[in-house]
Chains A and B, each alone.
Chain A
Amino acid sequence: MIKRILLVDDSPLIHNLLRKTLEKHGYEVAGDAMNGKEALELFAQLSPDLVFMDITMPIVDGLEAAKAIKSQQPTAKIIMLSAMGDEEIMSQAKALGIDIFLQKPFDDYKIISAIAKVI
């Protein structure tokens, strides 16, 4: 069964690059959210197998969105994909139960091997 993935990032470039990588490797992009608020709405509608979540976004940031998703569904699988990766922010992500934290930039291998560890 094809795994369905929700992409959350305020950059159209990241959606473009992730979509190419995921589809090339047999995954389906379930939806595209441009901020944390849209992520919460689409997560509830689409029930994806996995979420790729940026941190720095307008309206609701990725940490807040991940916290809300995890509170609704503790088993939700979330990979953080952020330009930031300092100890403090990684510790915050870990406390939320984030499965994997990746720092941008990324390549296909980094993305696909992270997915394989989570789903």
Chain B
Amino acid sequence: MDMRMTVPFVEALQDIFKQMAMIEVQTDGDPFNDNEEVHSYGVSSIITFAGKIKGRFLIDLDTQVALQAAKNITGSSYDSPKEQMVLAVVSEMNNIISGNAITKLNNEYGLSLRLAPPIVFAGTDVVISIPKVASASVTCTTACGKLKASVAISKA
């Protein structure tokens, strides 16, 4: 996969976590090719996009990262990542990260990409398998736990 396509997503991930949730996200290294199954850290959200190419963006958060983001954004504390507002926070953050990244890709490369509504799920026993799609992932560290971002892109 062309690693240049991951840059807007990683930049948007760091910007949006900082702006919305006041959480600093440090990447652990460069994006790497990743065709393994994703064993969820705790709360995951996937959003698909299509236009002149198609793909998906996934964020996978440690439960504590999701709970802290929800607390910082809404001003309320939550006990479980399965509470509706925690899931809504992760889902909408993914929507905004992807929307901001797709906006840059569209303006730069004229890809006419459009997003579908995100999906979100919670549980550490979740395994996400996306076969035969080239993807690139980056693992990240925050003060409250780990997160992973993964971009997959293929021909439309």
Contact = CB atoms under 8 A, between A and B. Distances in A.
B85 A12 contact: yes
Contacts of B102: 84, 86
Q: How large is the interface on A (under 10, 10 to 19, 20 to 34, 35 or more residues)?
A: 20 to 34
7 contacts: A56-B95, A83-B95, A83-B115, A84-B102, A85-B103, A103-B103, A104-B95
Q: How large is the interface on B (under 10, 10 to 19, 20 to 34, 35 or more residues)?
A: 20 to 34
A10 B47 CA distance: 14
Given A58-B117, A104-B96, A86 B107 contact: yes
Contact of A86 (B16, B106, B116): B106
Interface stretch (B31-39, B86-94, B121-129, B141-149): B86-94
B89 A57 contact: no
B135 interface: no
A86 B84 CA distance: 30
The DSSP consensus for interface residues of chain B is helix
Interface of A: 10-14, 16-17, 56-58, 82-88, 103-105
A11 B103 contact: no
Contacts of A84: 99, 102-103, 114-115
A56 B16 contact: no
The 10 closest A-B pairs by CB, nearest first: A83-B99, A86-B106, A13-B88, A11-B92, A83-B96, A12-B88, A13-B92, A86-B103, A84-B99, A104-B96
B27 interface: no
Given A83-B96, A88-B112, A105 B117 contact: no
Contacts of A13: 73-74, 85, 88-89, 91-92
B100 to A, nearest CB: 7
Nearest to B15: A105
A14 B118 CA distance: 14
B20 interface: yes
B116 A105 contact: no
A88 B106 contact: yes
Interface in B44-84: 73-74, 84
Contact of B95 (A11, A17, A85, A87): A11
